[in-house]
Copies of this chain bind each other. A is one copy, B any other.
Amino acid sequence: MKWLKAAADEIVESIKLSIEELNMSEVEKLIELLLKARDEKIFTVGMGRSGFVARSFALRLMNLGFNVYFLGETITPAAEKGDLLIAISGTGTTKMVLTASSAAKEIRAKVIAITSFPESPLGHLADLVVTVKGRTKAGLPREEDYLARQIIGEREPLTPLGSIFENNCMVFLDSLIVELMHRLGRTEVDLKRRHATLE
């Protein structure tokens, strides 16, 4: 299990570093927007594994009593001016996320980007960027880059593709939920009252 343990160590170190490197004024603005949006609608969006992180966060916001939806699910209503879209994309280039974010901007909903790359298309489009570090290299490797780096000895993470970002992002958002719980004066029992019972 040498590789399993090495990968777990790498993930844990990466999570710790990504929390330390958060820009807390970005996070404070995010919290303000979330607390102000309690009478509006909040939408989260992401594709693939970032989408699962976006759904996990939406589920906890629902537990907390927010009016929240994951984009693409059945009962997602119309977004309106003043609503929030929380767009999660490590690279900030995911096509479907950009399409939704542009649509949100057009109707004057606010877009919050959670990404490793504030200079990405998503970062440029967003009203607020919260930078969550992922891989140290920009973007996913193209095949030729990957081989080049192996030759010159640059280190790639053990976990493939966006895994580092996704784990960092998951822990960041779960920690943010705890911060929100305390600011709102909510306990776990409050959350449990809203937790799915038929499944």
Contacts and interface: CB of A to CB of B under 8 A. Distances in A.
A153 interface: no
Nearest to A73: B73
A3 to B, nearest CB: 4
Copies of this chain, tallied across the complex? 4
Given A174-B7, A179-B7, A74 B58 contact: yes
Contacts of A43: 198
A68 to B, nearest CB: 6
- How large, as a class, is the contact surface on chain A? 35 or more
Contact of A4 (B49, B161, B178): B178
Interface of A: 1, 3-8, 11-12, 15-16, 19, 24, 27-28, 43, 45, 47-49, 52-53, 55-56, 58-60, 62-63, 68-79, 85, 94-96, 99-100, 103-104, 107, 109, 140-141, 143, 146-147, 156, 158-161, 163, 166-167, 170-172, 174-179, 181-182, 187-189, 191-199
